[in-house]
Structure 1
Amino acid sequence: MIYNNSYTVILDDLSEYISTNYESLLKEDMLQLEYKNYIIDVGFYAKEFILYIIKDHNWNIPIRKEQIQENDIISKINKTCIEVLSMNLQELIPENKFDIEAVRRLSENNTGQIASIALPLLEWIADMNWPVASELIHVLPRFHKELLPSIRCILIDQKKDLIWKYWIITRLLIQFPKESQLELLPIIERLAELTPKNEDEIELKEGALNFLENIK
Protein backbone atom coordinates (compact mmCIF):
# COMPACT_ATOMS: atom_id res chain seq x y z
CA MET A 1 0.00 0.00 0.00
CA ILE A 2 1.28 3.50 -0.85
CA TYR A 3 1.26 6.00 2.00
CA ASN A 4 1.87 9.75 2.06
CA ASN A 5 5.41 10.18 0.71
CA SER A 6 6.29 12.69 3.43
CA TYR A 7 6.43 9.79 5.88
CA THR A 8 9.01 7.14 6.61
CA VAL A 9 7.57 3.63 6.86
CA ILE A 10 9.02 2.03 9.98
CA LEU A 11 6.80 -1.06 9.97
CA ASP A 12 4.13 -2.26 7.56
CA ASP A 13 2.40 -5.60 7.92
CA LEU A 14 -0.94 -3.91 7.39
CA SER A 15 -0.54 -3.82 3.60
CA GLU A 16 -0.17 -7.59 3.44
CA TYR A 17 -3.22 -8.08 5.64
CA ILE A 18 -5.31 -5.77 3.43
CA SER A 19 -4.19 -7.73 0.36
CA THR A 20 -4.73 -11.21 1.81
CA ASN A 21 -7.06 -10.91 4.84
CA TYR A 22 -4.96 -13.58 6.59
CA GLU A 23 -6.05 -13.45 10.23
CA SER A 24 -2.61 -14.68 11.29
CA LEU A 25 -1.31 -11.20 10.40
CA LEU A 26 -3.55 -9.49 12.94
CA LYS A 27 -1.44 -8.18 15.83
CA GLU A 28 -0.82 -5.06 17.88
CA ASP A 29 2.07 -3.82 15.75
CA MET A 30 0.92 -3.65 12.14
CA LEU A 31 1.85 -0.18 10.86
CA GLN A 32 4.09 2.67 11.94
CA LEU A 33 4.62 5.80 9.87
CA GLU A 34 7.02 8.48 11.06
CA TYR A 35 7.13 12.17 10.20
CA LYS A 36 9.63 14.26 12.16
CA ASN A 37 8.63 13.83 15.82
CA TYR A 38 5.26 12.22 15.06
CA ILE A 39 4.35 8.54 14.66
CA ILE A 40 1.10 7.15 13.29
CA ASP A 41 0.59 3.66 14.69
CA VAL A 42 -2.10 1.17 13.69
CA GLY A 43 -2.63 -2.19 15.37
CA PHE A 44 -5.26 -4.85 16.04
CA TYR A 45 -6.28 -5.14 19.68
CA ALA A 46 -8.68 -7.94 20.67
CA LYS A 47 -11.47 -7.37 18.16
CA GLU A 48 -10.77 -3.94 16.73
CA PHE A 49 -8.21 -1.80 14.93
CA ILE A 50 -6.82 1.13 16.91
CA LEU A 51 -5.02 4.16 15.46
CA TYR A 52 -2.61 6.18 17.59
CA ILE A 53 -0.88 9.50 16.97
CA ILE A 54 2.29 9.71 19.07
CA LYS A 55 4.44 12.79 19.54
CA ASP A 56 8.03 12.82 20.80
CA HIS A 57 7.85 9.04 21.40
CA ASN A 58 5.50 9.62 24.33
CA TRP A 59 3.52 6.39 24.05
CA ASN A 60 2.02 6.85 27.50
CA ILE A 61 0.12 9.97 26.44
CA PRO A 62 -0.89 9.67 22.77
CA ILE A 63 -2.22 12.76 21.01
CA ARG A 64 -5.01 10.59 19.67
CA LYS A 65 -6.32 7.09 20.18
CA GLU A 66 -9.34 5.96 18.19
CA GLN A 67 -11.06 2.85 16.93
CA ILE A 68 -11.23 2.51 13.14
CA GLN A 69 -13.37 0.25 11.02
CA GLU A 70 -11.60 -2.28 8.83
CA ASN A 71 -13.34 -1.06 5.69
CA ASP A 72 -12.20 2.50 6.44
CA ILE A 73 -8.55 1.86 7.32
CA ILE A 74 -6.91 3.28 4.18
CA SER A 75 -9.07 6.40 4.12
CA LYS A 76 -8.53 7.02 7.83
CA ILE A 77 -4.75 6.63 7.60
CA ASN A 78 -4.54 9.02 4.65
CA LYS A 79 -6.64 11.63 6.47
CA THR A 80 -4.53 11.24 9.59
CA CYS A 81 -1.32 11.73 7.58
CA ILE A 82 -2.65 15.06 6.33
CA GLU A 83 -3.74 16.09 9.84
CA VAL A 84 -0.29 15.35 11.29
CA LEU A 85 1.39 17.39 8.57
CA SER A 86 -0.89 20.26 9.54
CA MET A 87 0.01 19.82 13.22
CA ASN A 88 3.67 20.07 12.33
CA LEU A 89 3.12 23.22 10.26
CA GLN A 90 1.33 24.93 13.15
CA GLU A 91 4.44 24.37 15.28
CA LEU A 92 6.40 26.51 12.81
CA ILE A 93 4.32 29.61 13.53
CA PRO A 94 5.56 31.70 16.49
CA GLU A 95 3.11 31.93 19.37
CA ASN A 96 4.43 35.23 20.65
CA LYS A 97 7.08 37.87 19.87
CA PHE A 98 9.70 35.97 21.88
CA ASP A 99 9.12 32.53 20.32
CA ILE A 100 12.57 32.06 18.76
CA GLU A 101 12.20 28.28 19.08
CA ALA A 102 9.48 28.28 16.42
CA VAL A 103 11.83 30.12 14.08
CA ARG A 104 14.47 27.46 14.72
CA ARG A 105 11.99 24.74 13.80
CA LEU A 106 11.08 26.63 10.65
CA SER A 107 14.74 26.94 9.68
CA GLU A 108 15.10 23.15 9.89
CA ASN A 109 11.97 22.46 7.87
CA ASN A 110 12.13 21.28 4.27
CA THR A 111 8.42 20.87 3.61
CA GLY A 112 6.92 22.29 0.46
CA GLN A 113 3.72 23.24 2.31
CA ILE A 114 4.83 26.54 3.82
CA ALA A 115 2.42 28.38 1.50
CA SER A 116 -0.48 27.25 3.70
CA ILE A 117 0.96 29.15 6.71
CA ALA A 118 2.58 32.00 4.79
CA LEU A 119 0.25 34.73 6.05
CA PRO A 120 0.59 33.97 9.79
CA LEU A 121 4.36 33.75 9.34
CA LEU A 122 4.48 37.11 7.57
CA GLU A 123 2.40 38.67 10.34
CA TRP A 124 5.37 38.22 12.65
CA ILE A 125 7.46 40.71 10.67
CA ALA A 126 4.79 43.42 10.91
CA ASP A 127 6.98 45.03 13.57
CA MET A 128 10.71 44.54 13.13
CA ASN A 129 11.26 45.61 16.73
CA TRP A 130 9.92 42.25 17.91
CA PRO A 131 12.71 39.80 18.85
CA VAL A 132 11.10 37.04 16.78
CA ALA A 133 10.98 39.30 13.70
CA SER A 134 14.73 39.92 13.73
CA GLU A 135 15.30 36.14 13.58
CA LEU A 136 12.47 35.28 11.22
CA ILE A 137 13.55 37.80 8.59
CA HIS A 138 16.68 35.71 7.91
CA VAL A 139 14.75 32.43 7.52
CA LEU A 140 11.79 33.48 5.38
CA PRO A 141 13.78 34.14 2.17
CA ARG A 142 14.35 30.37 1.88
CA PHE A 143 10.63 30.06 1.15
CA HIS A 144 10.37 32.94 -1.32
CA LYS A 145 8.31 30.99 -3.86
CA GLU A 146 5.79 29.84 -1.26
CA LEU A 147 5.51 33.34 0.23
CA LEU A 148 4.96 35.25 -3.01
CA PRO A 149 1.16 34.82 -3.33
CA SER A 150 0.58 36.03 0.24
CA ILE A 151 3.00 38.92 -0.14
CA ARG A 152 1.23 39.98 -3.32
CA CYS A 153 -2.11 40.00 -1.50
CA ILE A 154 -0.70 42.05 1.37
CA LEU A 155 0.87 44.67 -0.89
CA ILE A 156 -2.25 45.25 -3.01
CA ASP A 157 -4.68 45.26 -0.08
CA GLN A 158 -5.31 48.91 0.77
CA LYS A 159 -6.54 47.95 4.23
CA LYS A 160 -3.28 46.27 5.27
CA ASP A 161 -0.92 48.11 7.59
CA LEU A 162 1.44 50.39 5.63
CA ILE A 163 4.40 49.82 7.93
CA TRP A 164 3.96 46.06 7.53
CA LYS A 165 4.24 46.58 3.78
CA TYR A 166 7.30 48.76 4.36
CA TRP A 167 9.06 46.02 6.34
CA ILE A 168 8.18 43.39 3.74
CA ILE A 169 9.66 45.49 0.94
CA THR A 170 12.73 46.84 2.71
CA ARG A 171 13.75 43.88 4.85
CA LEU A 172 12.32 40.75 3.22
CA LEU A 173 11.94 41.25 -0.53
CA ILE A 174 15.40 42.76 -0.76
CA GLN A 175 16.75 39.30 0.14
CA PHE A 176 14.71 37.42 -2.47
CA PRO A 177 16.23 36.09 -5.70
CA LYS A 178 15.87 38.38 -8.68
CA GLU A 179 13.19 36.27 -10.36
CA SER A 180 10.92 36.51 -7.32
CA GLN A 181 11.54 40.23 -6.96
CA LEU A 182 10.55 40.81 -10.58
CA GLU A 183 7.20 39.10 -10.05
CA LEU A 184 6.25 41.87 -7.61
CA LEU A 185 7.82 44.71 -9.53
CA PRO A 186 4.58 46.19 -10.99
CA ILE A 187 3.01 46.38 -7.52
CA ILE A 188 6.05 48.05 -5.98
CA GLU A 189 6.27 50.51 -8.87
CA ARG A 190 2.69 51.57 -8.12
CA LEU A 191 3.56 52.04 -4.44
CA ALA A 192 6.53 54.17 -5.47
CA GLU A 193 4.15 56.45 -7.39
CA LEU A 194 1.99 57.16 -4.33
CA THR A 195 1.15 60.72 -3.41
CA PRO A 196 1.76 60.51 0.35
CA LYS A 197 -0.87 61.87 2.71
CA ASN A 198 0.73 60.91 6.00
CA GLU A 199 4.01 59.80 7.56
CA ASP A 200 3.38 56.08 7.03
CA GLU A 201 2.70 56.62 3.34
CA ILE A 202 5.90 58.65 3.06
CA GLU A 203 7.90 55.77 4.56
CA LEU A 204 6.24 53.22 2.29
CA LYS A 205 6.88 55.30 -0.81
CA GLU A 206 10.54 55.79 0.16
CA GLY A 207 10.91 52.08 0.84
CA ALA A 208 9.45 51.23 -2.57
CA LEU A 209 11.72 53.75 -4.33
CA ASN A 210 14.81 52.42 -2.55
CA PHE A 211 13.86 48.86 -3.48
CA LEU A 212 13.52 49.80 -7.14
CA GLU A 213 16.86 51.56 -7.05
CA ASN A 214 18.59 48.55 -5.47
CA ILE A 215 17.36 46.00 -7.99
CA LYS A 216 18.39 47.95 -11.07
Structure 2
Amino acid sequence: MEHKPKYLPRDKHDFERVNELFQLDPPIIVPLIPRLVEWLQDINWPIASDVAKLLLKYPEETIPHIKAVLNSKDDIWKNGCLLYFVQKLPELYIVQFKNEVTRIATDPTQGELLEEVNETAKRVLVFFDKR
Protein backbone atom coordinates (compact mmCIF):
# COMPACT_ATOMS: atom_id res chain seq x y z
CA MET A 1 0.00 0.00 0.00
CA GLU A 2 1.34 3.41 -0.97
CA HIS A 3 1.64 5.83 1.95
CA LYS A 4 1.98 9.01 -0.11
CA PRO A 5 -0.73 10.06 -2.53
CA LYS A 6 0.52 9.87 -6.07
CA TYR A 7 0.39 13.65 -6.46
CA LEU A 8 2.69 14.60 -3.58
CA PRO A 9 6.34 15.40 -4.26
CA ARG A 10 8.59 12.38 -3.71
CA ASP A 11 11.62 14.41 -2.65
CA LYS A 12 12.93 17.96 -2.35
CA HIS A 13 13.89 18.03 -6.05
CA ASP A 14 10.57 16.75 -7.45
CA PHE A 15 9.69 19.77 -9.60
CA GLU A 16 7.82 17.46 -11.98
CA ARG A 17 5.19 16.58 -9.38
CA VAL A 18 4.98 20.18 -8.13
CA ASN A 19 4.34 21.39 -11.69
CA GLU A 20 1.65 18.72 -12.08
CA LEU A 21 -0.03 19.96 -8.88
CA PHE A 22 -0.55 23.37 -10.49
CA GLN A 23 -2.65 21.65 -13.19
CA LEU A 24 -4.93 19.77 -10.82
CA ASP A 25 -8.41 20.79 -9.73
CA PRO A 26 -9.14 22.02 -6.18
CA PRO A 27 -10.95 18.82 -5.07
CA ILE A 28 -7.66 16.95 -5.59
CA ILE A 29 -5.39 19.64 -4.11
CA VAL A 30 -7.34 20.61 -0.98
CA PRO A 31 -6.98 17.24 0.81
CA LEU A 32 -3.22 17.37 0.10
CA ILE A 33 -2.70 20.78 1.74
CA PRO A 34 -1.61 19.50 5.19
CA ARG A 35 1.09 17.37 3.53
CA LEU A 36 2.10 20.19 1.18
CA VAL A 37 2.57 22.60 4.10
CA GLU A 38 5.23 20.15 5.35
CA TRP A 39 7.37 21.16 2.35
CA LEU A 40 7.74 24.62 3.90
CA GLN A 41 9.64 23.14 6.86
CA ASP A 42 12.92 24.04 5.17
CA ILE A 43 12.58 26.87 2.69
CA ASN A 44 16.03 25.97 1.32
CA TRP A 45 14.61 22.80 -0.21
CA PRO A 46 14.51 23.43 -3.97
CA ILE A 47 10.74 22.87 -4.34
CA ALA A 48 9.70 24.78 -1.19
CA SER A 49 9.07 28.18 -2.79
CA ASP A 50 7.08 26.60 -5.64
CA VAL A 51 4.96 24.67 -3.13
CA ALA A 52 4.35 27.95 -1.28
CA LYS A 53 3.17 29.54 -4.55
CA LEU A 54 0.76 26.65 -5.02
CA LEU A 55 -0.58 27.01 -1.48
CA LEU A 56 -1.18 30.72 -2.07
CA LYS A 57 -3.79 29.68 -4.63
CA TYR A 58 -5.75 28.07 -1.76
CA PRO A 59 -5.47 30.61 1.07
CA GLU A 60 -8.67 29.75 2.96
CA GLU A 61 -7.84 26.06 3.03
CA THR A 62 -4.17 26.62 3.92
CA ILE A 63 -4.48 29.27 6.67
CA PRO A 64 -5.47 26.86 9.49
CA HIS A 65 -2.40 24.72 8.76
CA ILE A 66 -0.05 27.73 8.68
CA LYS A 67 -1.56 29.01 11.95
CA ALA A 68 -0.80 25.61 13.49
CA VAL A 69 2.83 25.96 12.40
CA LEU A 70 3.05 29.48 13.84
CA ASN A 71 1.78 28.08 17.15
CA SER A 72 4.22 25.16 17.09
CA LYS A 73 7.77 24.91 18.43
CA ASP A 74 9.38 24.54 14.96
CA ASP A 75 10.94 27.98 14.60
CA ILE A 76 12.62 27.41 11.24
CA TRP A 77 9.29 26.26 9.80
CA LYS A 78 7.60 29.38 11.24
CA ASN A 79 10.12 31.57 9.49
CA GLY A 80 9.52 29.93 6.12
CA CYS A 81 5.76 30.21 6.52
CA LEU A 82 6.00 33.92 7.37
CA LEU A 83 8.33 34.72 4.48
CA TYR A 84 6.85 32.58 1.73
CA PHE A 85 3.17 32.38 2.64
CA VAL A 86 1.88 34.93 5.15
CA GLN A 87 3.51 38.08 3.77
CA LYS A 88 2.47 37.19 0.22
CA LEU A 89 -1.23 36.88 1.01
CA PRO A 90 -3.80 39.45 -0.12
CA GLU A 91 -4.96 41.79 2.66
CA LEU A 92 -8.26 39.91 3.05
CA TYR A 93 -6.31 36.90 4.32
CA ILE A 94 -3.15 38.36 5.83
CA VAL A 95 -5.10 40.13 8.57
CA GLN A 96 -6.06 36.69 9.93
CA PHE A 97 -2.44 36.29 11.08
CA LYS A 98 -2.19 39.58 12.96
CA ASN A 99 -2.35 37.97 16.43
CA GLU A 100 0.27 35.29 15.71
CA VAL A 101 2.66 37.69 13.98
CA THR A 102 2.26 40.33 16.69
CA ARG A 103 2.97 37.74 19.42
CA ILE A 104 6.10 36.47 17.66
CA ALA A 105 7.35 40.03 17.03
CA THR A 106 6.69 41.40 20.50
CA ASP A 107 6.94 38.36 22.82
CA PRO A 108 9.16 35.79 21.10
CA THR A 109 10.16 32.48 22.61
CA GLN A 110 13.86 31.70 23.11
CA GLY A 111 13.77 29.56 19.97
CA GLU A 112 12.16 32.33 17.94
CA LEU A 113 14.88 34.71 19.14
CA LEU A 114 17.61 32.21 18.29
CA GLU A 115 16.25 31.66 14.76
CA GLU A 116 15.38 35.37 14.39
CA VAL A 117 11.75 34.56 13.64
CA ASN A 118 10.88 37.67 15.66
CA GLU A 119 12.81 39.81 13.16
CA THR A 120 10.88 38.26 10.28
CA ALA A 121 7.63 38.85 12.19
CA LYS A 122 8.56 42.52 12.71
CA ARG A 123 9.10 42.90 8.95
CA VAL A 124 5.73 41.24 8.32
CA LEU A 125 4.04 43.62 10.80
CA VAL A 126 5.43 46.59 8.87
CA PHE A 127 4.13 44.92 5.75
CA PHE A 128 0.65 44.73 7.36
CA ASP A 129 0.75 48.45 8.08
CA LYS A 130 1.54 49.29 4.45
CA ARG A 131 -1.61 47.61 3.20
Answer yes or no: is 1:207 the counterpart of 2:116. Answer: no
Structure 2: which 5+ residue stretches go unaligned? Answer: none
Distance, in Å, in 2 between the alignment partners of 1:155 and 1:113 is: 25
State the AA in 2 paired with 1:188: V
Distance, in Å, in 2 between the alignment partners of 1:148 and 1:199 is: 20
Distance, in Å, in 1 between the alignment partners of 2:83 and 2:75 is: 12
Structure 1: which 5+ residue stretches go unaligned? Answer: 1-86
Q: State which structure, 1 or 2, has the greater radius of gyration over its C-alpha atoms.
A: 1
2:56 to 135, 141, 154: 141
1:175 is aligned to 88
State TM-score, norm by structure 2. 0.84
Distance, in Å, in 2 between the alignment partners of 1:179 and 1:113 is: 25
2:69 is aligned to 154
* 1:31-110 correspondence runs (5 A): 90-110=5-25
Q: Secondary structure at the match of 1:94?
A: coil
Q: Identical aligned pairs, as a percentage?
A: 27
Q: Secondary structure at the match of 2:26?
A: coil
Instruction: Name which structure has the greater RCO, CA cutoff 8 Å, separation 6+.
Output: 2
Judged with a 3 Å threshold, the aligned counterparts in structure 2 of structure 1 residues 148 and 113 are, in CA distance, closer, same or farther, namely: farther
1:164 is aligned to 77
Distance, in Å, in 1 between the alignment partners of 2:95 and 2:9 is: 29
Higher helix share goes to which structure?
Answer: 2
Distance, in Å, in 2 between the alignment partners of 1:113 and 1:201 is: 38
Question: How many residue pairs align between the two structures?
Answer: 127
Higher strand share goes to which structure?
Answer: 1
State TM-score, norm by structure 1. 0.53
